A and B are shown apart, each in its own frame.
Chain A
């Protein structure tokens, strides 16, 4: 194995390959590439949370000049499918139709209009006459689960494609659980027990580019869909099913993406633009407004979590119980997997012998939950890491020492890895690398942990507090996810790198090319990277589950390794040497004795034009057998206004073990971004609803995401470790650091004020009330 210190391309902060063009505003996103004669699609959304459509009349809308197509349940295929972009068959119910006779949340699809201009399409929507029969809506956890609750999915056709517990008549989307040791006994044999209830809110990803797709037919009648997606291959498969057309007839192209964070791990609008293109023969564009992104897009699942801990006086955690209700809203995609990860990415962080984990995903008549960076772990870390602080305080131990004593270490395993999978059992795993102790030490030094005093020592209106939390995530979904790559050489010694992996702004095209360049002993600028085009690139499941660097990166490394073998073979012939007498170095094949060398360009010329010609090229795939966790320790200092409850974050430190950082600057960027998203999720972000289930803050003025002025100083520290199973020792980095904001800030608020927050976000009102009630 190559030592990280000897690497020439990997572990270097090289410039992101698309950053120059992006900074110039070049035409690289879906909306920039729309054909000039495209029709505009607009959607009529349900104004009701739960209703049956008694009648719908589209005739007036159809007659408006400029309207080319109106779609509704009466004129499209009715095939149950799942919009979530997951491995196939999905561990999610097929409970969605392109259009249905029933609407299940405010913002559900009713009918679509495609017209010459977006104004005409909007006008036409007003002419669609719909008569609804209102049904009793279900908004709360308790209402959904109570005896005789209205059934949200009462249709006969919905089903689950693999055997997972699905009980739509009880509004239950999925159940998952595990037991290890004996939880009840563990609790009763503990010196101290804890039993608390926590709640997390609905939140939206807020990529600055919202959902957008367009489709057009090629001369052979195939439909090409250009779309802002994290999952081009899954999208192709889902559209094929929903429209009942062959996969062969569809090409999905992902250009540059203006952010996703999970909300684009979903087939959202591709079915409709494809249908319009097929029906009219015209290109069709559909872009959500910001309001629509909030109301009808995907969200972070709200959870209600009961947490129980049993603790011994010697600081052993003797039992943990998590009972989770996960609100997946009106449709069930990701309903099982998100809550499964609330266990599998959280429970293994600490040694506990007696474990109880019981999670239910439920339907309500509210917006639809989906994948969101952190994927369930973010919600569960809030109670877990707050209670770790509560327990440390009970014992009078420094929270850092308590965590160090109890967290998982290199060489250790945990039953949750095997017990909790994604619709099937997970993969057993031992931890191959864990830099958590160093993360804790470095982070503590950076925040100035040693000056931390208890809340009882503080007074005055403005009080400062320091809090912290530790976290892990995973890297890919083991035994399920697959990524593939192909590489070919060109005349001048440059290479085409084609990957199915989906760069959604993270820099994965750059990272993957760095891996290829390192393996091929050449430079990053020799790579022409093309990603995510279902006609052109090999398959990849897409950008999710923190998989791209670890999974697709290893596919790239294997591919590059094969190309390297071919280059060596040609080089040896050209140099009249045996293959074992040559090596690659600085884009040359060199004789080990130093007598002669030949460049990649000369080798490519020889192979393409001169003798025994062939294309030096390879294609390789990779699946993973484990999902090695990256680890992090987060530290935060806050100032709380005791009179108003306002919380100001002063400084935030994230020390991250992501294995080998393929590109340290990009790893810092991933961490900075996840951290600020986590902070704003903790302090301001939540959906507010009126009594009819309609979101009342669906815009950036009232749904507050942080700006540059709001941000504290963020310090991201990369702690190197080496993961043997990852490309050049890499693990994942992208999701991990969104998990800290809520618990670390809650712990800091407690350290400042003595008030414990158990319901997020920590708005001024909630903090003020918590201070009054402490």
Chain B
């Protein structure tokens, strides 16, 4: 199958990729080593493959790879750094014991990050609405819920200082 070249900003760097005509963004990312983006249902219903596209959390299984042309994409790899310090959302999930099998976790992290980037202090309704698209079968969401609420609360505290 013939491929085409596209380029987009991935995790802060302009990159060029060969894409297949019917390829989804999820497959393009995983094929190129960005395997932090996991495969869940391939039908846009579980949120496991969430990435941040131009600031919005999207299911990368529902985005054709060529649609990424010229846009900005963040995967969970963007949050890793040299000194292995966790992003505050990851740290909150780890602290609360919200990572069981961990398969949905990168998607949860990115959905939450897209929310916090837009609104550092979401209320409970806003959190539920944003996180509704990320399924988890292990935790009953209870500890994910409290982790995200704690991040929001910590931002509120920071605001008042």
Question: A207, A258, A674, A711 — which one has the most chain B CB atoms within 10 A of its CB?
Answer: A258
What DSSP secondary structure best describes chain A's contact surface?
A: loop
B105 at interface by CB-CB < 8 Å:
yes
CA distance A32 to B37 in the complex (A): 10
The answer to whether A290 touches B42 (Cβ under 8 A) is yes
The answer to whether A25 touches B143 (Cβ under 8 A) is no
Give a binary string over B68-110; 1 marks a CB under 8 Å from any A CB, 0 the rest.
0000000111011000101000100111111111111110010
A505 at interface by CB-CB < 8 Å:
yes
The answer to whether A209 touches B142 (Cβ under 8 A) is no
The answer to whether A258 touches B101 (Cβ under 8 A) is yes
The chain A residue sitting closest to B145, CB to CB, is: A708
The answer to whether B42 touches A709 (Cβ under 8 A) is no
The answer to whether A23 touches B99 (Cβ under 8 A) is yes
The chain B residue sitting closest to A715, CB to CB, is: B142
Count of residues in A whose CB is under 8 Å from the partner chain: 57
Chain B residues with Cβ under 8 A from A119's Cβ?
1, 22
- Given A209-B103, A259-B137, are A13 and B97 also a contact pair (CB < 8 Å)? yes
B60 → A minimal CB distance (Å)? 13
Which one, B30, B86, B94, B135, contacts A208 given CB within 8 A?
A: B135
A705 at interface by CB-CB < 8 Å:
yes
The chain B residue sitting closest to A256, CB to CB, is: B102
CA distance A119 to B97 in the complex (A): 39
A15 at interface by CB-CB < 8 Å:
yes
The answer to whether B90 touches A672 (Cβ under 8 A) is no
- Given A24-B36, A208-B46, A700-B45, are A707 and B135 also a contact pair (CB < 8 Å)? yes
Near B by CB (< 8 A), chain A positions 232-258 give 256-258
Chain B residues with Cβ under 8 A from A676's Cβ?
140-142
The answer to whether B137 touches A705 (Cβ under 8 A) is yes
B40 at interface by CB-CB < 8 Å:
yes
Chain A residues with Cβ under 8 A from B136's Cβ?
208, 708
Chain A residues with Cβ under 8 A from B133's Cβ?
707
Chain B residues with Cβ under 8 A from A666's Cβ?
97
Question: A16, A676, A707 — which one has the most chain B CB atoms within 10 A of its CB?
Answer: A707
How many A-B contacts are there with CB distance less than 8 Å?
187
- Given A258-B38, A505-B102, are A23 and B48 also a contact pair (CB < 8 Å)? no
The answer to whether B140 touches A675 (Cβ under 8 A) is yes
B107 → A minimal CB distance (Å)? 9
The answer to whether A505 touches B128 (Cβ under 8 A) is no
B14 at interface by CB-CB < 8 Å:
no
- Given A208-B48, A699-B41, are A24 and B139 also a contact pair (CB < 8 Å)? no
- Given A290-B41, A709-B128, are A716 and B103 also a contact pair (CB < 8 Å)? no
B133 → A minimal CB distance (Å)? 7
Which one, A208, A668, A699, A714, contacts B43 given CB within 8 A?
A: A699
- Given A16-B99, A25-B77, A208-B136, are A711 and B142 also a contact pair (CB < 8 Å)? yes
B54 at interface by CB-CB < 8 Å:
no
The chain B residue sitting closest to A28, CB to CB, is: B102
The answer to whether A23 touches B105 (Cβ under 8 A) is yes
Chain B residues with Cβ under 8 A from A514's Cβ?
none
- By a beta-carbon cutoff of 8 Å, the part of chain B in contact with chain A is 1, 22, 30, 35-43, 45-46, 48, 75-77, 79-80, 84, 86, 90, 93-106, 109, 127-129, 131-145
